[in-house]
Amino acid sequence: MKFSLRLGVLVSSFFSSLLWSLNLLLFLYTLLVYYLLYEVPIGHWTASILMISLPVAWACNLFFILFWVLVRPWRAVLPVLTMLIGIPFWRRTLTYSQPGSNSEKRPMLQVMSYNAMGFNKYDIVDTQRPDDANKMIEWVLKEPSDVKCFQEFYNDNSSVVFKTIRRLEKAGYPYYAVLHPPEREGPGKFFGVAVFSRYPIVKRGDEVFDNFNGLVWADVKVGADTVRVISVHMQSMGIRVGGMLDQTETNRVKSNTRTVLRQLRQGLTLRRNQIVRVEEFYRNSPHPIIICGDFNDTPYSYTYGKLRRLLRNAFEDAGRGFGFSYNKAPGFLRIDNQFYNARFLEPLNYVTYRDVKFSDHYPIMAQYAIKPREISKDRTPRTHVEFDF
């Protein structure tokens, strides 16, 4: 009996020591991730993997908090401390802001961004249900934003449903800029990035990253002010989590796992190069700037961190909840964003239209107040850091 008790104590002590050692390693790992997120020192894909693993590290720390509270409460201090050190990054995950007011009657600009998935053009081929696409386009036409930024926008002048540019013009958006359409789409057809505006666009430009990925910028004239709006679509992972979860054969799972890792590495590398170009457009802009679109990266990524050091994020400052914007498995990703120049703009409201389920992305909208002209009259390019906690 005594032997059994002593054996039980030894086993318990062994596992407790093992878990404590793992907790210490987790503490060091999480600190490393914090450092990478704060400094964004390197863009190598391995560092990016570490950065996007922060939610997993947090989940493990929460497990240890609960475990040590039940077993050895004093040890819970370490994972609690780990979580507290990460407070500056909590807002990237969860935030709650009340809509702001515009009592000073400042000029306003409401911007919507939407990866429209080609307005379900390709699904129609399979389902033969053009009404689905028409409902989606009708929602886009009625959505009241002043500027609409699209990724995977589709237009076909030969189609009643997909004559999208003409329909937006009739709905009150006569000014637009589109990424140079790929030749493969054919005459009158376009698939890619676009910006539409109620207000005049006085200047525009674009850059192709790869195929239909790229950016479009438009200088939108709002009264006496000009705001540069950039719609960007960065490289996709090409990973379908739902498909992975449906696999049952071992060989197929292994093959798909290797493919996913390869695509993950490729996507991280390409987006690292693409964010350099986006930064250059920011630094060379003579106007206040809003950068929005489908970044295909989480709030803990290298690309997000690079922009977050230059600009503020509208969800963090004016959003509510988690802001998940991806309408497919795993369902808890925020990969669509709006970044803005806080020197000249103030976000009063940010909304994720989670009831709009037409695409594999939810539309996002932010409402901005343009700060008084005497503050924002200096339009020289900015390179200052707006990142803070």
pLDDT at 373 over 70: no
Tens digits of residue pLDDT in 26-50 = 999 999 999 999 888 777 778 888 9
Q: What is the pLDDT of residue 234?
A: 95
CA 216 to the chain's CA centroid = 17
For residue range 341-363, list pLDDT tens digits in order: 999 999 999 999 999 999 999 99
Q: What is the pLDDT of residue 123?
A: 63
Structure tokens at 279: 């930064």
pLDDT for the residue numbered 129: 60
Could you give phi then psi for residue 266, rounded to 5 degrees? -65, -45
Degrees, nearest 5: CA angle 340-343-349: 45
Distance CA 299, CA 296 (A): 10
Please state, as a whole number, how many other Cβ atoms lie within 10 Å of the Cβ of residue 163: 17
What distance in Å separates the CA atoms of residue 288 and residue 228, rounded to the nearest whole number?
Answer: 6
Residue 132 has pLDDT above 60, yes or no: yes
Respond yes or no on whether the N-terminal peptide bond of residue 330 is cis (omega within 30° of 0): yes
- For 103-376, give the CATH class: alpha beta
Record the tokens describing residue 123, joined without a space.
Answer: 């699904």
Lowest mean pLDDT among 11-15, 142-146, 206-210, 337-341: 11-15
| 119 residue type, one letter | F
Report the mean per-residue pLDDT for the chain.
Answer: 86
Whether 196 has a pLDDT exceeding 60, the answer reads yes
For the beta carbon of residue 237, count every other beta carbon within 10 angstroms.
Answer: 16
Q: Which two tokens stand for residue 234?
A: 């960065």
Per-residue pLDDT at 45: 79
pLDDT at 381: 44
Q: What is the rounded distance in angstroms from the CA atom of residue 151 to the CA atom of residue 211?
A: 13
How far apart are the C-alpha atoms of 238 and 240, rounded to whole Å?
7
